[in-house]
Amino acid sequence: MFKPSPRRNIFLGILLLLVAVGVAIFDYAQPAAQGAGFFRRYLLLFDLPVLLLGIAAFVRGVWVFAAGQAWRPGESAPRVIPWIKRRRKGLLLSGTLLTGSTFGVLSAIAFRLPKPRGTQFVLQHEILRMTALVSGVLFLLGVLSLLLPVVLNVLEGRSFVSFVGARHVRATKSGFLTVISVLSISGVAVSSCALVSVISIMGGFGADLKKKILGNNAHITIDVQDQGGFDEWDPVLQRVRLVDGVAAATPVVAGEAMASSHTNTSGTLVRGIDPESIGNVIDLKDNIEVGKFDYLTEPDKLTRLPSGEIVGLGPGGEPFRKGPDFGGSYFRGGSPIDPAVTDVLRAPDVYPGVILGRELAKTLHVYVGDEVTLISPMGDLGPMGVMPRVRKFRVAAIFYSGMYEYDASHTYMLMDVAQDLFSLGTNVSSIDVKAVNGEGASALRPDVAAAVKREDLRVRDWKELNKNLFSALKLERIATFIILSLAIAVASFCIICTLLLMVTEKGKEIAVLKSLGASSGSIMRVFMLEGVVIGAIGTIFGVLTGVALTVGLSLYGLRLDPEVYYIDRLPIKVDPVDYVLVALATLTICTIATIYPAHAASKLRPVEALRHE
């Protein structure tokens, strides 16, 4: 009934795609209500075949037209490549505007989406975010492609050297040389984009690790090597707080213990803290995700938690709430219950509170309000020798620091309770100091040491305590930079091949230019400029694409499984200094690659080049 028509297939495909996208947006904006009909509840399932048909119709129309079939029935079959060449500017501009508008719309929607928590993963949201990112990168590439002819036109109007070099770059008469030039630009672009992306990701991991270390540890630590701690610490604490550049300081009692619950046991690092000042030194209060910090100082509230309060989180971040308490209303002074039941009911015992790390709480299978037992090796002397000291506690809160080593091992309690657990009396293990500028803790350490005025105490900053870790990260970044720079060097070999082939093909033109008065230095600068332009185009495309990817990933976030990586999104560090270094390194390598071909072109003798013409 209908003759095959690429035009009809393409238009039908676009129409079906618009309908499918519109239905998907409608379903997202107006979710199906409870009790809606079957068709409304499964609207996206019916929308999927429409989307697939639209894609199939569009692809078939483009494929048939590219194969040489007429755009309309009755027209002569066109030559597709010449048609695309004639309309390449219009097609490029249309594609750039389309991707730009898509990027704007999807970004506006993506920024309104709720941020997932824990292992929560919504496939539609992640697809929308990644589509926005890809459309933004394509829009940037379109803009750069539109600006490229303008830049080459400016170069052509500056001088004889820039005119000839720019004309060589944009020449399309020799198809083979054009392909080699495109491959050279692509190789440099891909290598520089990979270098920018890897440097940003590695910098993000390093910055994320540094942030978590500074958030969970003191910038400067004052302690002794003796496990028994040190006394007369309060005057030292007051003097340290007066040092210029110190933001806060707090005493800490530290020790190791064995934690056990009704179902499991685990080793733990216990830290006794001062609740009034600990929040000024580390981010413990901000890291609490379940429970309350106030339960640490008011443990009696843990025996009568209100019904419905969140006491834990599931694997997917879903909250676990406390159920109704059978005898709670009686002990809270509510309505009386059956006297026969009250005879066997008693109020729960009040134990000191502890704050556990998320992974430690998982290992012990405990929630807020549950009992845990801590066993200290520093016990009392009995008939059988030293007996471990056993104390019962109740979970006041669960914290999440973002570092598995801390969440799986740390337990916080009040300082006086820890002193009693480890038999320290009034001694403390250390004084933790927070500097106003964490990066400048090394420069502040001598002033703190001078304020301590005690030979038995040692003063160390966080860089000294984590020296091996950050040295390894720095060495890894340098090694990665060097290895990926070798990839850029390999891509620059294509530039060498391109210029050598250009010298061979343009031998007659070089001889004519020299006969007309062009010097050998001018010919050398022409070919060096051509190589530099090829390298600069690849560098700009690659570096800006890498910057767009990294900035997009930092804004939209790439979801990771926190059960595997212990972070819920890929960390990215956007550092303009790194990007400038990558661009300079790439341009330097490409410039060095042009020296030999340009020197060979400058040494070409006109007589030898024109002998066989």
**HEC assignment per residue over 320-360:** EECCCCCCHHHHCCCCCCCHHHHCCCCCCCCCCEEEEEHHH
Candidates 179, 172, 161, 177; CA nearest to 530 is 161
CA–CA dist 420, 406 (Å, integer): 23
CA angle (17, 21, 26) in 5-degree steps: 150
**Rg value, the chain, Cα:** 35
Judged by DSSP in three states, 378 sits in strand
Candidates 369, 386, 388; CA nearest to 325 is 369
HSE-up of residue 12 (Cα within 13 Å, Cβ side): 15
Q: For residue 524, what are the CA distances in angstroms to 297, 491, 498, 596, 597?
A: 79, 21, 15, 9, 8
Candidates 568, 453, 486; CA nearest to 122 is 568
**For residue 540, what are its two tokens?**
């700009």
CA–CA dist 255, 269 (Å, integer): 6
Q: Are 573 and 471 in contact (CB under 8 A)?
A: no
**For residue 197, what are its two tokens?**
């992306």
**For residue 95, what are its two tokens?**
């594609």
Q: How far is CA 36 from the centre of its chain?
A: 40
Judged by DSSP in three states, 39 sits in helix
224: left (phi over 0), alpha (psi -120 to 50) or beta: beta
Q: Are 490 and 521 in contact (CB under 8 A)?
A: no
Look at residue 611 in the predicted model and tell me its pLDDT: 62
Look at residue 604 in the predicted model and tell me its pLDDT: 74
CA–CA dist 265, 255 (Å, integer): 17
Terminal C-alpha separation, the chain: 62
Q: For residue 150, what are the CA distances in angstroms to 155, 170, 225, 504?
A: 9, 12, 69, 29
Q: Are 529 and 607 in contact (CB under 8 A)?
A: no
Residue with tokens 């569009």: 58
Look at residue 329 in the predicted model and tell me its pLDDT: 47
Instruction: For CA atoms 293, 296, 298, 304, give the dihedral sign.
Output: positive
CA–CA dist 73, 81 (Å, integer): 20
Q: Are 586 and 192 in contact (CB under 8 A)?
A: yes
Look at residue 174 in the predicted model and tell me its pLDDT: 57
Q: Where are the alpha helices (DSSP H) in 559-605?
A: 562-565, 576-593, 595-602
CA–CA dist 81, 239 (Å, integer): 80
Residues 6 or more apart whose CB falls under 8 angstroms from that of 122 comprise: 116
Q: Where are the alpha helices (DSSP H) in 157-232?
A: 160-170, 175-216
Candidates 420, 462, 404, 402; CA nearest to 438 is 462
Q: For residue 457, what are the CA distances in angstroms to 137, 258, 277, 454?
A: 56, 28, 21, 6
Look at residue 38 in the predicted model and tell me its pLDDT: 63
Q: Are 526 and 168 in contact (CB under 8 A)?
A: yes
Q: How many of the other CB atoms lie within 10 Å of CB of 508? A: 13
Tell me the pTM: 0.71
B/e letters for 204-223, b = 16+ CB within 10 Å, e = fewer, are bbbebbbebbbbbbbbbbbb
| Residue ranges for the chain with pLDDT beneath 50 | 1-2, 71, 75-77, 328-334
Task: Enter the DSSP assignment of 226.
Answer: S
Return the percent helix, strand and coil in the chain, to nearest 5. 60, 15, 25
**Could you tell me which residues are beta bridge partners of residue 273?**
252, 414
Look at residue 87 in the predicted model and tell me its pLDDT: 67
**Which long-range contacts does 418-421 make (Cβ < 8 Å, 24+ apart)?**
418/253, 418/255, 418/270, 418/271, 418/272, 419/253, 419/272, 420/391, 421/255, 421/257, 421/270, 421/272, 421/374, 421/376, 421/378, 421/389, 421/391
Domain boundaries, the chain: 1-81, 157-211+472-610, 225-324+347-456
Look at residue 4 in the predicted model and tell me its pLDDT: 59
